[in-house]
A = this chain, B = another copy of it.
Amino acid sequence: MPTSARRARERANTRERIIEAALHILENEGVTALTIRRIATAVEYSAPVVYQHFANKEALVLELVAHGHRLMMAELQQAAEEPDIDRRFLLLASESVRFAGEHPHLYQVMNGDTVDADERLRAAAPMIDLLRELLTTWSDAHDVVLADFDEACDIVWGTLSGMASLGRIGTVGNERAQQLAQKAMRTLLRGWRADLPVNA
């Protein structure tokens, strides 16, 4: 029975098409335009078909979030190859903020309160891992012992989120937010280097 294989392939294919259509709508028209019927017509189906591939809208959006993180990691790949660790840190800071600026609506669902917080955290795991790795090689390179490594990691991660969210409000703008991310990161790192004496 080759038919079931083909059917499964077609199923997976339309599923993928739905995700792509949803992503396209989200990026081009914003989160308010991301409606089930709108997505369905974009793939030339009726609305209930979407529910054959996703339990509900949140599940679909969650897929977009995962896709967004993959995309972000891919775009960060190039910056991750910068050999100098300090430069790499700053570069990844500004590049991640740049991503947020170039995909504002996607970033909004990735880091906004549209989806459940725990799912959001799970989707962001690769990014967090990247930051952990970054921070370890940095501290190794400079013989800095962080009093609390996880804490420092969360601070870096939270700071980047903060700078990116700053980029969406009037006075700041994205290129400035990128600069802010670099400056903030530089200041943080300098602050950690400044307490070589072991204090809390």
Contacts and interface: CB of A to CB of B under 8 A. Distances in A.
Interface of A: 108, 111-113, 117-118, 120-121, 148, 151, 154-155, 157-163, 165-166, 168-172, 179-180, 183-184, 186-195
A180 B151 contact: yes
Given A188-B191, A195-B190, A158 B180 contact: yes
A190 B184 contact: no
A170 B117 contact: yes
Contact of A179 (B151, B179, B186): B151
A186 to B, nearest CB: 7
Given A158-B163, A159-B162, 9 more contacts: A112-B112, A121-B171, A155-B184, A157-B166, A159-B159, A187-B192, A190-B194, A191-B194, A193-B194
A111 B169 CA distance: 11
Contact of A188 (B160, B163, B188): B188
29 contacts: A112-B112, A113-B113, A113-B168, A117-B168, A117-B169, A118-B170, A121-B171, A148-B183, A151-B179, A151-B180, A154-B172, A154-B180, A155-B180, A157-B166, A158-B159, A158-B166, A159-B162, A160-B162, A161-B165, A161-B166, A162-B162, A162-B163, A187-B187, A187-B188, A188-B188, A190-B190, A190-B194, A190-B195, A193-B194
